[in-house]
Chains A and B, each alone.
Chain A
Amino acid sequence: MIKNLDQIFLLFEHWIVSFLPVAWRPMGAIILSVLAIISIFPALFALTTVFERKGLGRIQNRIGPNRVGPLGIFQPIADGIKSLTKEDIVPTSADGVVHFLAPIVQVLAVFMGFAVLPMGRNMVLADMDAGLLFYFSMGASTELSVFMAGWSSRNKYSLLGAMRAVAQMISYEVTLLLSAVPVVMIAGSLSLTKIVAAQNYYTHGLPHWYIFTPWGLAGFVLYAIATTAETNRSPFDLPEGESELVAGYHTEYSGFKFALFFLGEYLAMFSISGMGATLFFGGWAAPFPFLEWIPSWIWFFSKLMLSIFVFIWLRGTLPRLRQDQLMNFAWKFILPLCLLNVLVTALWHFLGVGWERWVFCSLILALAYVLMGLGGMRGMKVGPRRYRYAE
């Protein structure tokens, strides 16, 4: 029974596919999985928008949307209808084709990433040997859509936003990849199912997730920072900084095209959160052996939603960075730490099992963090702002 619940989606798929002629079955199974992915994640997106607004409201001691339906739960439906009925404006001097393609490319590229994510036991659409590589290459191609949008709009704000976005995303792409490298080094595989399998065992009732190692913790923190920047979320939301750039690269988008960008942003958040869970939190694995009866997909999605909550929490807490701060942070702080983390992981591997590697690796990372923090903050005035007025 529990086993069936764990595999319920696969069994359902097999049942539906069994109605098809044998020759069509593999194709039918793939189409069904794709349909499942492209219906579940947008639904999750709709829920997340309302939860985000309510969560941000609570963080600011407000109630948040509570008008449409009980507790405002139907707000995304109203928003969807609104964006569908809005006029779709294309600027006269815009490049029509590219302007039209940009949101589609964005959503497509993001959806491709979901193909290799293992969302539960045996629940992966395409179990590639180089899944991680495929995932990151697809993630990187969203930059193209951002620049397409900014360039084709023929609007200075759009272009500025797109240029910021490309600078930011390329900088953080490097750290994103480097922060995932230690996992590959230890797991010895680029296949995401193998990475999950490598973490999915217990000693003394404790899991072997990579987050519970010094390099894994450091890697996760770096990964989290890089993902926040990569998905253009606050505090790294300069490409769409409302206060300075109207709406950044999607200034000239309205109606459903804008909704697609919005969808793409959230889907990127989901997929990158799912990737984070896969790399550092054991993917669909249960945290304790006695909780293994809960279906694996519930674990995957709860880990995903937890990280979405952290995203929202960060958004409600941190103010936006300045462009030079953002770049300095990426190249002078995150990147060296990422490289150091790769070295530390190698050290961890060659020191062998024992307490020494725990002490050494933790010490090196903590020391590097503290020293680099001190070095970076030297000469920086930290404290309440002092205002100077013209006299």
Chain B
Amino acid sequence: MLGEGILKGLTETARNFFGSFVSPERLTTVQYPEERIAPFEAARSFPFLVFDAKNPGDDADWLAGLRCVSCHICEKECPPKCIFIEKSKDKKPDALGKQQFYPTRFDIDISVCMSCQICVEVCPFDAIKMNTVFELSTTDRFGGLLLDRQQLAQSNEYYHQIHPTEAAGVDEMRAAEKAKADAKAKAATEAAAKAAAAKAQAAQQPAGGAQS
């Protein structure tokens, strides 16, 4: 009959209205600044730079541990062009012990950044990852939203905290790479030692030959 649906709807909303007073579990709203829910693991806001602290928990040596080698790939790939990098003149050893450049400037303008994660996808050094912080409001919309390398630097432990699964995978890969590099280095040193020994022997023999 006409009007039946309206009555049905009215009872439903009335049930909601009175039910929300009696059963608080109906109210799903989180009272945000006072209450918080943990962010989801797959959440992402803006990129940050990962560094490996020498002593876990000590963030003083962030610059030395920075994984970024200033290769400019992310800067070139960034669709809104919000990354600015300046390469260093000198080099410092990276985690594999190889001499690498490092960024003297690494700025991300998060007012431009669109959180697309492309910089993360293209980084061959796992140096840039997505953060989950979202309370970034500031009274200065130009300087306040332009983050420099120190503001961007976060330890690997922090990365483990916000994206545990992903970080574990990255660490595994890096450990494998390091093992491979170590093995290669060991082989190289052994080969070098062998070569040196052979060379020494060879050098000795002609000398001996000359003697004899």
Contact = CB atoms under 8 A, between A and B. Distances in A.
Q: Do A and B bind each other?
A: yes
B10 A59 contact: no
Given A318-B6, A369-B2, A376-B2, A59 B27 contact: no
Contacts of A372: 2
B3 A373 contact: yes
SS class of chain A's interface: helix, strand, loop or mixed? Answer: helix
Contact of A55 (B2, B3, B17): B17
Most chain B beta carbons < 10 A, residue from A317, A374, A382:
A317
Interface string A29-68: 0000000000000000000000000010011111100000
B2 A63 contact: no
B13 A62 contact: no
Contacts of B12: 317
A252 to B, nearest CB: 28
Contacts of B17: 55, 58-59, 313, 316
B79 interface: no
Nearest to B3: A373
A370 interface: yes
Interface residues of B, number: 20
Nearest to A375: B2
A377 interface: yes
B1 A373 contact: yes
Interface string A135-174: 0000000000000000000000000000000000000000
A61 B3 contact: no
Contact of B29 (A59, A62, A373): A62
Given A316-B13, A317-B9, A317-B10, A58 B21 contact: yes
B78 to A, nearest CB: 35
B27 A62 contact: yes
B16 interface: yes
B2 A377 contact: yes
Contact of A61 (B2, B9, B16): B16
B22 to A, nearest CB: 11
SS class of chain B's interface: helix, strand, loop or mixed? Answer: helix
Interface residues of A, number: 20
A55 B17 CA distance: 7
Interface in B19-50: 19-21, 26-29, 31
Contacts of A316: 13, 17
Nearest to B20: A58
Interface in B176-206: none
A66 B21 CA distance: 15
Given A55-B17, A373-B1, A61 B6 contact: no
Contacts of A313: 10, 13-14, 17
B16 A60 contact: yes
A370 B13 contact: no
Contacts of B9: 317-318
Nearest to A315: B13
Interface string B49-92: 00000000000000000000000000000000000000000000
B26 A61 contact: yes
Contacts of B13: 59, 313, 316-317
Given A63-B29, A313-B10, A58 B16 contact: yes
B118 to A, nearest CB: 32
Nearest to A377: B2
A377 B21 CA distance: 37
Most chain A beta carbons < 10 A, residue from B1, B10, B17:
B17
A313 B12 CA distance: 11
A63 B16 contact: no
Contacts of B5: 382
Given A58-B16, A58-B21, A63-B29, A370 B10 contact: no
A376 B3 CA distance: 12
Contact of B20 (A61, A318, A373, A374): A61
A314 B181 CA distance: 71
A259 B20 CA distance: 31
A373 B16 contact: no
Interface in A56-83: 58-63
A150 to B, nearest CB: 30
Interface string B111-147: 0000000000000000000000000000000000000
Most chain A beta carbons < 10 A, residue from B5, B6, B20, B31:
B20
Given A60-B16, A62-B27, 10 more contacts: A55-B17, A61-B20, A62-B29, A63-B27, A313-B14, A314-B10, A316-B17, A317-B13, A318-B9, A369-B2
A-B pairs with lowest CB-CB distance, top 4: A373-B2, A317-B13, A317-B9, A59-B13
Interface of A: 55, 58-63, 313-314, 316-318, 369-370, 372-374, 376-377, 382
28 contacts: A55-B17, A58-B16, A58-B20, A58-B21, A59-B13, A60-B16, A61-B19, A61-B26, A61-B27, A61-B28, A62-B27, A62-B29, A63-B31, A313-B10, A313-B13, A314-B10, A316-B13, A316-B17, A317-B6, A317-B9, A317-B10, A317-B12, A369-B2, A370-B1, A370-B2, A374-B2, A376-B2, A377-B2
